[in-house]
Structure 1
Amino acid sequence: MSAFTTLPAWPAVAGGTTVGDGADSSAAIRVARLYDEAAVVARQYETGLREAEKQRARARRDERLLIRERRLGTAIRKDPGLVARAQYHQSVAPPYVPQTLLPDTALKLMRSQHLLTGADGAAVNAVVGIHRVQDRLAADLAEASAQSRRLQKRKAELADRRRSVQAKLEEARQVLQRQASATAAAGSCRGAVHLGRPRQRTHRAWGAPVESYRLSAPFGSGGGHWAHRHTGQDFAVPIGTPVRAVGAGKVVRVACGGAFGIEVVIQHPGGYFTQYAHLAAVTVDQGEPVATGQWIAQSGTTGNSTGPHLHFEVRITPEWGSGIDPVPWLTARGVRI
């Protein structure tokens, strides 16, 4: 299967041509495209690891069975009376075949045969059955080994592909961040990046603002970067990570300067507002309605920021200074952080 079959259809970007309303759209779209591509390759790589391990386990199992069958065949050829003596002491064994000597695979095969009588006949039939089992196990082992080699080669190819995509993604992230820093320094937003993606469907009223994050500075913590106390919850994520609306609402603010850098503020029913700050790009316009889980921005490190992360606030007004702790607020709405 192709590594790109599940990727969404992105707007075309040719040469230096931008797409959408923003002058930085080309870099934002490239990051988004590579972000999805990296995720697909990573999933395929993990699947390849599991499949390769399953095939290695199958090959090891067949090899153990084959060794056991060969040892059993050698023992019967050296002592033809072994089968008859085992029969005599084990009345539960099938005719002329000692259950203690043969594995289940051999027993099933031997039950379907018309065996000769006497110690020599039983030994001959046992050896014949063992040879057939050996042939089948040898074929299974060869197939499993060949499949294991193919999977190992595929895993190596995916590992190379993953490294290549990650390198391209990191380069694109740096380009996006440089453009975002210039936009934030100018203090003038250049318009939303229109990614042309369908809205993420969810039956939940509320969700997390990002996925695969590490919590960093919490609400109320102190630090040299804040005049008083930290007014939100920070989510450490790479540049270009999709930032999503935690709930349905309306975009009431898109700003691109000051301590928060590039930011978005959304008004939700019930009198609450959420802020998403230090962004690299915005994918919605002021006044636009948004749905829960909708991709509204890409994370970055603009404004008063020491590294890539999303600064997330919950407020009772649109303005700074009215924030409340976002973690218990989300928890009360069924979102585990």
Structure 2
Amino acid sequence: MRFTRRHPLLVAVSLCALAVLAARPADGDGSNAPGHGSVSGVSAEVARLYAEAESATTQYEAGRREAEKQRSTAQRLEKRLDRERRELAVLHKDLGRIASSQYRDGGGLPLTAHMLLADDPEQLMRGQRAVRQAEVSLDKAVGRSEHAETLLARDEAKAAAAWQRLETRNTELATLQRGIERKLETARWKLQGQADASVAAGACRGAVRLDQPERWFSSRWMAPVETYELSASYGSGGTRWANRHTGQDFAVPIGTPVRAVGSGEVVKVSCGGAFGIEIVVRHAGGYYTQYAHLAAVAVDQGDRVSPGQWIGQSGTSGNSTGPHLHFEVRVTPEMGSAVDPVPWLAGRGVTL
């Protein structure tokens, strides 16, 4: 059965770019574990790729906001064009009505013809005044129509230019997004390849320190990842486990920052076996939390951690069928002592 957190899983672009993995290798002795090659070089490349992805994401978000502004501008112009087209149609009707009236009243006849047709001078003057008034009205209507047509042509050109800018910008954003996805995919699997090498060697390469987010958490407890989908739950059966599933799985992309759910001490960092790369943290009250199938660790055994601190990156190392975080709550540091983590977290104010 699959459960979904109330906040939907974010697009992998924004989730992984959030990591800002300015990673640097630790000074420990694990830097030359078999199968790794130059760990510092691999870490530097992963950090560079994530930094580029973060920069591209920033540009993408700025471009998206600009595109929304362009869209609003174009839509306002379209509304104004509709109004101007209606006003111009009314002016054209007025021109037709004035021209028809002049025709019926003899407007446009030569003055001599009016004199011949007039019964008296007063009638002639009244006729001429009517003609002149009609001509003035016609001139004004023509002027308004020409002005309206000029405005319409100008605004149509503005609207066309605005939509063209929007289309161009959307194309640029789509290209930028594809570039982000390619870079992130490269970074994720390079990170995972490094993890697989550690697991195969059965030796951890040491902590890759992550720049922590500039956030303060008011809560003493929290979920191990910020945004996720719940997958395999505690106690569920399946061919992947010898008996029953002993934790709660969080489906997240490779490289997602993994957080300490509460304050405690790192009592185990291991890079071999079915759990792949794993971390175990001891908390007050005699409980332990395990974070498994990681792609990298950001702490060493003996480190103190605080709630929300990034302690590693999710992956798919060990006995894993896809990228996810396996999270357990135990009463001892070893497997076989797990309790259901969902009600355990709920009892501490964390609803998954």
Q: Is this a same-fold pair by TM over 0.5?
A: yes
SS in 2 for 1:79: helix
**2:198 corresponding residue in structure 1:** 183
Map 1:1-337; keep pairs closer than 5 Å: 11=22, 19-21=25-27, 22=31, 23=39, 25-30=43-48, 32-34=50-52, 36-37=54-55, 39-41=57-59, 43-44=61-62, 46-48=64-66, 50-80=68-98, 139-337=154-352
Report if aligned partners of 1:251, 1:264 keep a CA contact under 8 Å in 2: yes
Report if aligned partners of 2:25, 2:206 keep a CA contact under 8 Å in 1: no
Report if aligned partners of 1:199, 1:295 keep a CA contact under 8 Å in 2: no
In 2, the alpha carbon distance for the partners of 1:204 and 1:120 equals 81
Query: Following TM superposition, by how much is the alpha carbon of 1:206 offset from its aligned partner in structure 2, in angstroms?
Result: 2.6
SS in 1 for 2:224: coil
In 2, the alpha carbon distance for the partners of 1:267 and 1:123 equals 91
AA matched with 1:215: L
Structure number with larger C-alpha Rg = 2
Percent identity over paired residues: 50
In 2, the alpha carbon distance for the partners of 1:9 and 1:309 equals 20
Cα deviations by residue, 1:261-295 (Å, 9 ceiling, x for unpaired): 10112223333322111001111222222222222
Q: Which of 62-71 and 45-54 deviates more? A: 45-54
Gaps of 5+ in 1: 1-5, 13-17, 82-117
**1:88 corresponding residue in structure 2:** none
Gaps of 5+ in 2: 1-16, 32-38, 100-132
SS in 2 for 1:29: helix
Query: Following TM superposition, by how much is the alpha carbon of 1:163 offset from its aligned partner in structure 2, in angstroms?
Result: 0.8
AA matched with 1:40: T
TM-score normalised according to structure 1 size: 0.74
Superposition RMSD on alpha carbons, in Å?
Answer: 3.2
Q: Which of 202-211 and 278-287 deviates more? A: 202-211
SS in 1 for 2:187: helix
AA matched with 1:173: R
Structure 1 residues 132 and 231, CA gap change in structure 2 (3 angstroms): farther
Query: Following TM superposition, by how much is the alpha carbon of 1:127 offset from its aligned partner in structure 2, in angstroms?
Result: 7.0
